[in-house]
Amino acid sequence: MSLRIGMVHSDLPEEGKKPGGVFVVVHELANSLVRAGNYVRLYSHTPKPKDAIYEVVDLPRTKSGTLNRRLVLPFQIGKLNLQDLDILHLHGDDWAYWNRSIPTVRTFHGCAINESKFADSLKAKLVHAAYHPLELLANKLASYSVGVGDDPVKLLGAKEVISNGYDTNLFYPGEKSPTPTAIVIGTLKGRKQSQLAIELLLSLRQEIPDLVIHAVIEQPYNDPSVQSWVGISKEQLALLVRESWIGVSTTLYEGFGMYYLEWMAAGTVPVTFGNIGTKSLIENSKAGIIAENSSQLRDAALHLLTDSSTRNRYSQNGVAAAKLLTWDDIAQSYMKIYASAITQPEKLPTS
């Protein structure tokens, strides 16, 4: 069944800028839904990406991206003309959208209450905490709700878990670098705290002097032993991932962690602290090593870089697990939910 699907998200990937994880998720899912034979119209404050095969409708915006997302978009959604669509898929900031004339599916890409626990400033903690009741409201307003991890089900009442996916044209087992190589992805500060991951890898150069460290971050890291990559294309990112032996993450909270899945698909072994996003992806499939502290993480990274047998075992497990989570697979899962929501209009929330 071919559907006319609307999607809403304030931001989409922009060339030369490091995109947020949800930006990429929304973009890739929309493309996959079109490839599956559907029409997709995406409402956004940012321009249409070059590789988008879906329609984009530009929404009026202010100069502040944060303001657009948190205050402007919630009220814009209710003014959209959606009558030619079968369903609307929302990815956040829909708490002010009360009068819903078509079925809506809401994906929670994490939980604000958990974000607040690991925010690096009091202001951020308060803002995320304030969003928790708004997320509870959004769950009630939706015809059907989905979480990309377990916490939206437990904390918000989402109906089921649907993972994010990955692009099989970019992330696949390729030729690894002949030199020990590790990759770090994420902002230097905040909950990602990638600076810690970089410093742990730098300390390994005592035992592995030729260790190559790729850091895909928001600003260059001031050390000649670190290859900083800022604002690179997804093709360049995928090449770095395929070449790397391991991926190291020191994030404190991850609702899912799409980069974990991309590492696994490329046969790059994740080494990370434990968080909500690691259990279903890494722990259950034995695709990497989860450490409790910095010392354990350093030891695990060293072990994987120097023991090819262990590294290859985790790598093979990761590739096998990732094969079930391509974007085309994820699109099919959502299409089943769309069909169910459309055929059960009595579940539409009333104003």
Domain with CATH 3.40.50.2000 in the chain: 4-165+327-347, 181-322
Weakest-pLDDT range from 23-37, 53-67, 133-147, 289-303: 53-67
For residue 94, pLDDT over 60 is answered with yes
Quick check: 95 pLDDT over 50?
yes
Quote the distance between the C-alpha of residue 229 and its chain's center: 19
pLDDT, tens only, 55-86: 999 999 887 777 777 788 999 999 999 999 99
- 43 confidence band (pLDDT: 50, 70, 90): very high
348 pLDDT exceeds 70?
A: no
pLDDT for 322 beyond 60: yes
Residues in the chain: 351
**Fold of the domain built from segment(s) 4-165+327-347:** Rossmann fold (3.40.50)
Judge whether residue 257 has pLDDT over 90. no
pLDDT > 90? residue 249? yes
| CATH class for the domain made up of 181-322 | alpha beta
Report the alpha-carbon distance of residue 149 to residue 280 in Å, rounded.
Answer: 8
- Residue 8 pLDDT greater than 50, yes or no: yes
Q: How confident is the model at residue 23 (pLDDT cuts 50, 70, 90)?
A: very high
Q: Is pLDDT above 70 for 227?
A: yes
pLDDT of residue 351: 38
Share of the chain above pLDDT 70, in %: 98
Q: What is the mean pLDDT of residues 305-310?
A: 97
Q: Say which range, 20-24, 34-38, 240-244, 275-279, has the weakest mean pLDDT.
A: 275-279
Amino acid at 47: P
In the predicted model, is pLDDT for residue 346 greater than 70?
no
> What is the arithmetic mean of pLDDT over 197-209?
97
The pLDDT, as a whole number, for residue 345 is: 56
pLDDT at 176 over 50: yes
Q: Give the pLDDT band (50/70/90) at residue 115.
A: confident
Q: What is the mean pLDDT of residues 130-145?
A: 93
pLDDT at 349: 47
Q: How many CA atoms lie within 13 A of 203 on its CB side?
A: 13
- Region 171-199: what's the mean pLDDT? 95
255 pLDDT more than 80: no
Compute the average pLDDT of residues 287-296: 95
Residue 283 pLDDT:
81
Q: Residue 88 above 60 pLDDT?
A: yes
pLDDT reported for residue 61: 87
Kindly report the average pLDDT of the chain as a whole number.
91
